[in-house]
């Protein structure tokens, strides 16, 4: 029998067949009423997912392009910023700030822990000229969700803007952009939004827009003023990734069909919780002290190199999960519960993880993950009820 592939990685994540077939349709031209109609629906759908009444800009880039856009459009060389480094992706904010000549205060947080909002409060007090705070909703490398609501409450009291990388967290971890007062949210297409890689997104508050006029960092492709001019006409300045946008319309329709983002968040909260319970069911520990519902990072048993688990699962069985990055290499593995990954996909992943752990000499009772997983759903609110 041919190998059946399962993608349980925190980006790219699987794409629903309905979306794939729409993307296979013949290409259409983008400077047409037909395309503008599609893009208009996409922009509305993005506002629904981002929980904002402000426009959400779409870039042809991976998520990192949207991150870069969230720097170059709002700041000038030498501007003071705070970046939170609680993992590989928070570290990226710091690297970008350095690349663009910003004066960055990097707050280092132990991997697996969230930043305490108090730490940001203190850093802002120490440097009142800070223009922006850069952090992450779900730190994908550690499976940690930051307390964005509390951080936003702290930043809102100052002149600084809050920028949140929600590339992996969007859709799975709660993020109430307007209500919480998050100024800029950036995301990408290949995680919770259920389409292939290639699109980046950014929402911008009125407070953040005020910085656009004075920002002197060089930019051209990501120049937000160009995007603002065209978005009112349901257009973009450069040729868009037409097929991805058409796929996105389909994916957004699926999300909207659930009624509210609160309902979507709840579904992933149940799935995330059941997944965490599953690993505890065979005596394993969750790496994060404030786990995200988009991805679960699990500590590998002391005797087992997590790289081996990932490699055997992928190369011998076609089931992809993710390794630990940087100093977490070999010590943790990560399984995604975002986008088009259902409870049944996770059940497949869990049963294979058990087989592989057994092969690698870890002692536990077979079926322990699945038992705890099932019990969590039956005790909690069942996803498909």
The token duo for 134 is 């850069």
Residues 199/248, Cβ–Cβ less than 8 Å: yes
For ligand PLP, the closer of residues 69 and 376 by Cβ is: 69
The answer to whether 185 and 65 have CB atoms below 8 angstroms apart is no
Residue 171, by phi and psi: left (phi above 0), alpha (psi -120 to 50) or beta? left
Evaluate whether 39 touches 232 at the Cβ level (below 8 Å). Answer: no
- Cβ–Cβ under 8 Å, residues 63 and 167: yes
Looking at the chain, which runs of residues are DSSP E strands? 6-7, 56-60, 80-85, 103-108, 132-136, 138-139, 144-145, 161-165, 184-188, 199-204, 295-299, 319-320, 322-323, 332-336
Name the pairing type of β-strands 322-323 and 199-204: unpaired
- Pick the closer one to ligand PLP by CB: 11 or 114: 11
Nearest CB to ligand PLP, comparing residues 197 and 318:
197
Q: Measured from the CB of residue 111, what is the shortest distance to ligand PLP in angstroms?
A: 14
Residue 367 beta carbon to ligand PLP: minimum distance, rounded to whole angstroms = 32
* Cα separation, 38 vs 375, whole angstroms: 42
CB of 118 to ligand PLP, least distance (A): 23
Helix (H, G, I), strand (E, B) or coil at 382: coil
End-to-end CA distance of the chain: 33
CA angle 197, 144, 84 (to 5 degrees): 85
Closer Cβ to ligand PLP, 64 or 351, answer by number? 64
Smallest gap from residue 244 Cβ to ligand PLP (A):
13
Question: Among residues 64 and 76, whose Cβ is nearest to ligand PLP?
Answer: 64
Question: Judged by CB, which is closer to ligand PLP: 86, or 304?
Answer: 86
Write down the least CB distance from residue 197 to ligand PLP, Å.
6
Considering the complex, state which of residue 140 and residue 337 has its C-beta at the smaller distance from ligand PLP.
140
The CB-of-61 to ligand PLP minimum distance in angstroms stands at 7
How far is residue 332's CA from residue 348's CA, in Å, rounded to a whole number? 19
- Nearest-approach distance from CB 173 to ligand PLP, in angstroms: 11
**Looking at beta carbons only, is 63 or 114 nearer to ligand PLP?**
63
Binding stretches for ligand PLP (CB under 6 A): 11, 62-64, 89, 136, 140, 165, 167-168, 188, 197
Angle between helices 261-280 and 343-359 (to 10 degrees): 20
Q: Please say whether the beta carbons of 22 and 250 come within 8 A.
A: yes
Measured from the CB of residue 11, what is the shortest distance to ligand PLP in angstroms? 4
């Amino acid at each position: 029998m041919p190998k059946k592939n399962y993608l349980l990685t925190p980006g790219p994540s699987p794409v629903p067949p309905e979306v794939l077939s729409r993307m296979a349709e013949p290409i259409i031209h983008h400077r047409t009423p037909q395309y503008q109609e599609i893009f208009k629906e996409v922009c509305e759908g993005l506002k629904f997912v981002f929980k904002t009444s402000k426009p959400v800009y779409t870039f042809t880039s991976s998520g990192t392009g949207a991150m870069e856009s969230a720097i170059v459009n709002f700041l000038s060389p030498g501007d003071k910023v705070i970046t939170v480094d609680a993992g590989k992706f928070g570290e990226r904010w710091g690297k970008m700030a350095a690349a663009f000549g910003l004066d960055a205060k990097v707050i280092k947080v132990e991997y697996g822990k969230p930043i305490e909002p108090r730490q940001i409060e203190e850093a802002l007090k120490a440097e009142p000229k800070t223009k922006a705070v850069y952090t992450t909703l779900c730190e994908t490398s550690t499976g940690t969700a930051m307390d964005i609501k509390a951080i936003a409450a702290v930043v809102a009291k100052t002149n600084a803007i809050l920028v949140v990388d929600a590339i992996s967290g969007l859709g799975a971890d709660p993020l109430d952009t307007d209500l919480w007062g998050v100024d800029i949210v950036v995301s990408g297409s290949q995680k919770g939004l259920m389409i292939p890689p290639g699109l980046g997104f950014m929402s911008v508050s009125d407070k953040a827009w005020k910085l656009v006029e004075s920002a002197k960092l060089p930019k051209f492709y990501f120049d937000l003023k160009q995007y603002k001019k065209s978005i009112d006409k349901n257009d973009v300045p450069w040729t868009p990734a037409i097929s991805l946008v058409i796929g996105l319309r389909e994916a957004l329709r699926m999300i909207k069909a659930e009624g509210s983002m609160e309902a979507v968040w709840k579904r992933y909260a149940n799935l995330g919780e059941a997944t965490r319970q599953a690993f505890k069911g065979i005596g394993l520990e969750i790496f994060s002290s404030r786990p995200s519902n988009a991805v679960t990072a699990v500590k590998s048993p002391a005797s087992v190199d997590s790289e081996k688990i990932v490699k055997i699962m992928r190369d011998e069985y076609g089931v992809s999960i993710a390794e630990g990055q940087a100093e977490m290499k070999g010590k943790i593995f990560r399984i995604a519960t975002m986008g088009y990954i259902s409870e049944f996909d996770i059940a497949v992943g869990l049963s294979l993880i058990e087989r592989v752990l057994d092969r690698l000499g870890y002692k536990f009772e077979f079926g322990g993950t699945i038992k705890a997983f099932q019990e969590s759903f039956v005790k909690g609110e069942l996803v498909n009820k």
